[in-house]
Every structure is written in C-alpha cells, then in structure tokens.
Structure 1
Amino acid sequence: MNKKIVFFDIDGTLLSETTHKIPESAISAIHEMQKKGHLAFINTGRTFAFLDDAIMEIGFDGFLCGCGTYIQYQNRSLSHHKLPDDLCKKIVLLLRECELDAILEGKEKSYGEIYERVHSQIFRDFIDQYQYPYDTWDAKDLSFDKFFMYAGANEKFQRFKRELQDMFEFIDREHGFYEVVPKGYSKASAMKEIAELLQIELEDTIAIGDSNNDLAMLAMAGTSIAMGNSSKNLLDKVDYVTADVDDDGIYKALAHYKLI
C-alpha cells in the first residue's frame, strides 16, 4: 500500500458533539496508522488558536486550520493568510450596521462583540457552549483570517452578503449559521498544497468529515469518508459512510481501508 495522508475534521468527526471528548478508539487508531507509515493531519475550520490540548496531545503530523488560511507541518508554519487591516475594520462596521453576530477568528486569538451587545440568544448560547475566549471587536490589535456568524431571520444579512460576496465564500453551516472564508482558501486548497509539498498524489489522500464545510475537502480527496452523524448533504457525495463518532466511527473507517 502507498503511503496515505488522512485529513481529519475536528468537530463532529474526531470530537463528539455529545460528550465533547475524543473517543479513545480514535486516538489509538491514529497512532496505529502512523506506526504503519501513514500521515495524520487535522483539517479544520477552527483557527490554530482554538486547537485545544486534547487535539495537540495526539501527535498529528500537521495542521490545516481556518479553512485553509493557515498551514503547519511538523511544528513549522508554512503559510498564513491574514485579512488586510482595512478589510477587518470594514467587516466590523458592516456587522454593526446590519446588527449581526459573529466571532472573528485569527491565528492567535478571536474577537467578538461585547457580550451585552450580542443580538440573538442563539448566538449567546453558542458562545456559552463553546466558551470562546475572545477580545472585543474594538481591540487595537484586531487581526483575523475568517469569521463565523449567525444570520437567523435578520433581513439585513442579504445586504451584508452583497457587500462581501466578491471576496468571500459564505458556507451554510445550517440553522442560520455561516462560515465566511476568503475566496481561494478552503480545506481542499490546503489539502492540495500539503500533498504537493510532500509529493503524495491526491489519489493517496483520504478525507474524513461530517459537515458542509468539509464538502470541498471530501470532493478533492482520493477517498472520501463521512461520519454516520454527518449532515445529510454529505451522505450521497462520499465513497464510504462510517459509524457515528460516538460509535467508534474513526476506528471503523481506518480499519475498513486497512490503514490499521
């Protein structure tokens, strides 16, 4: 078998959204595939600042973060795309004018509106659930790569989108949430870049995900795998559907393809 690179999404793929833990079976499977000479990469919408200790301690070969805006291999930063300062300020202005809620995500940290000014209870619940540590939108060092927002039924969202749609992709994360990423960057673009660097053919890449922001990565991979708990949009677009994350889905997927 040729050396494979396996790209893992985090939330809902490696990390259970029920227990908020990574199954031990997934960790042991990753270690076993690495012992056999295959490479394991995180490929996530999260920016690097929000890779928690549980992820870092596994021992991944590299990290593709922020939907392709940051790439790291063997503890070495390879690329980082930050939005220009004037564009960052414009986005904050538009969010406030349109009364929209968002977390502005950077490599070092993220930024949010002062909690009392958050418009929707749904977004407050989101902040409380994930306990995002963040600075405010008025921070002097405001600098970010992408952002995650809630539109809900806000009619001003269409105006906001029109202002930025030439520069950004708006990925529908369902239930009124959007992941907003600069055009030209995605989980797929990062996957292609690292495969070329390591001189590994795309046919020897494997991607595992569960949500709409994984679609580009899954489409580009030589082998695409969806978790059993995936968004329904993925299930007919992949080569294989494994079990839920809480039912040892990662272990079963790697075993199915004889990587362990």
Structure 2
Amino acid sequence: MIKAIFFDIDGTLVSFNTHRIPQSAIDAISMAKAKGVRIYISTGRPLSLINNLDEIKHLIDGYITANVALCFSGDKIISCTPVPEEDVMTVIKFSDSMKFPCMVVGEKDLTMYNSDERTDRIFRQMLNVHNLKEDNDVEQILRQRILQLTPVISEPEELQIMPRLTGCVSCRWYPEFADITATNANKGNGFLDIISHEGIPVEDTMAFGDGGNDVSIIERAGIGVAMGNANQILKDVADLVTSSVDEDGVYNAMKKFVL
C-alpha cells in the first residue's frame, strides 16, 4: 500500500513545454491525498525558485530542495547539508576565470553570479525561472551556509572543475548546467531522511523523476517511476517507465499503483 509519493518538478510534474502541471496529474495527486497518501516534492530547485506548484501547494507535506541540501516536512527542517566553504570559493574563482554564470544558493537567499545572456535564455525563457536576484551581493550570500552551486558549464568544463572540489558531487537535470552539492547530498539520502522521520516503510513509497539527479531516489523508492521523457540512465534503473509528462505520465502510473 503506497503511503508516500515523491515528485521531481521539472520534466516530471511540470512540462518543459507549457511550464504547467497537467490537469490529470493535479487530479491524481488530489485523489491520492484524499486517500491519506503523503505528498512530497524532490527537486533540484532551491525553495525560493519553486514557482510552478500553486495548483497542488496545499497538498504538499514536505520538500527535498536543492538536490537534498535542505529537506523539511511541514515547518520542521529534517536535514541541511552545505557545500564545504573551500569548494564554494573554488567554484567562484572558476566562474571569474572562465566567465560563466553561477547560481549561488545560500540558506536564506541566492544570487546569479556573473550573470550574462545565458541566464535569461536558459532560466527565464526555457525553464520559466525568475527571481534570480542578480543584484544581490555575492559576498552577503557567502556569509550564509551555501546549499548549492549551479554553474552554466558544458560537460567538458564540468570534468575540468570537479576534480578540484574535494567534498562535492555534480549532476545535471538540464543539459546546459550542472548542480554542485555536498558529497552526501542526493535525493536518495533526502528520501531516506524524510521517511525515517515520518516512520514510513520504504516498500510503501513511490517516486517519480526524469533526470540524472533522480537516479538515487528512483533506485531507493519502493516503486521508482521514470517519465517517458526521462533519460535512458534513469529508465534503466526504474521499476516502471510511464508516458511523458505531456502524455499524462503521472496519472497513468498512479492509476496503476495508487488510485
């Protein structure tokens, strides 16, 4: 019996084409919630950039945010895993020398450091992410614990940078940038933290995703579901491959296992 479901946002709950949650997914989540199923979000986005869940916000019990750097249930913080300070400064220096934008996500605020035209094209136009706060002073953000760094870099540039970071991992859920978090910060660990806190058995859980940063949670959930639009790596580890987000993928999988 499914007691908790974890949803990635972009490409899973929310379409890259419409920037909206399909009505079928809203209906399925509403029906599941009415049956007592707990609903959680598992996203690479920091909390302040989650701007596309208004239709289901009242149904959500907790969040894994910034690829698990900050997890909470209701108002209670379950875990916080910041990036080591020396790694933060290394990425900042690379951003200056290699001239790439980098989102710096603090515990309380964020900024888009070294913003350029790619910031607007990728985040505002393609992903419909606003509130990037380019005017925020990075020095002020660096006084906080840093939860995540999101540099706009290619895969070869990522391979150049990551060996210089001693306490971090990187992953991609969109081709043009990487999310850098502390080594133990992944969605799978956040998932385990939350269900342990809530007393939910692993076998009673379900998780949905579409990108590389979803592999760890899809592998660990009782039923791991890859969207039809997911990358092949995720499909290979999933228990079920459903249809795409634009073809009612969430509803189709939930109808089979939950509704």
> TM-score by structure 2 length?
0.87
Partner of 1:234: 234
Q: Whole-Å Cα distance in 1 between the matches of residues 58 and 242 of structure 2? A: 21
For residues 21-100 of structure 1, the aligned pairs below 5 Å read 21-52=20-51, 54-55=53-54, 57-83=57-83, 87-100=87-100
1:95 to partner: Cα distance:
2.1
CA distance in 2 between partners of 1:14 and 1:174 (Å): 15
Residue 34 of structure 1 aligns to a residue whose secondary structure is helix
1:191 aligned partner, one-letter code: F
The reply to whether residue 211 of structure 1 matches residue 211 of structure 2 is yes
Output aligned runs, 1:1-260, within 5 Å: 1=1, 3-52=2-51, 54-55=53-54, 57-83=57-83, 87-115=87-115, 118=116, 122-129=118-125, 130-135=129-134, 136=136, 138-142=138-142, 143=144, 144-152=146-154, 157-164=158-165, 166-173=166-173, 175-257=175-257, 259-260=258-259
Gap change, CA 1:59 and 1:104, over 3 Å in 2 = same
> One-letter code of the match for 2:34?
K
The C-alpha deviation readout for 1:160-205, integer Å capped at 9, x for no partner, is: 22211x2111214463522211101110001001111122221111
Structure 1 residues 33 and 154, CA gap change in structure 2 (3 angstroms): closer
Q: Contact 1:4/1:39 (CA < 8 Å) preserved in 2?
A: yes
Pair 153,242 (structure 1): closer, same or farther in 2 beyond 3 Å: closer
Deviation string 1:198-257 (CA, Å, 9 cap, x unpaired) is 222211111100011100111111111011111122222211111111111111111011
Unaligned runs of 5+ in 1: none
Q: Secondary structure at the match of 2:141?
A: coil
For structure 2, the 5+ residue unaligned runs are: none
Change (3 A) 1:222 1:28: same
Distance 1:159 1:247, change over 3 A: closer
CA separation in 1, counterparts of 2:193 and 2:175?
A: 32
Q: CA RMSD in A?
A: 2.3
Equivalent residues of 2:172, 2:211 under 8 A apart: no
Identity %: 25
Letter in 2 for 1:237: V
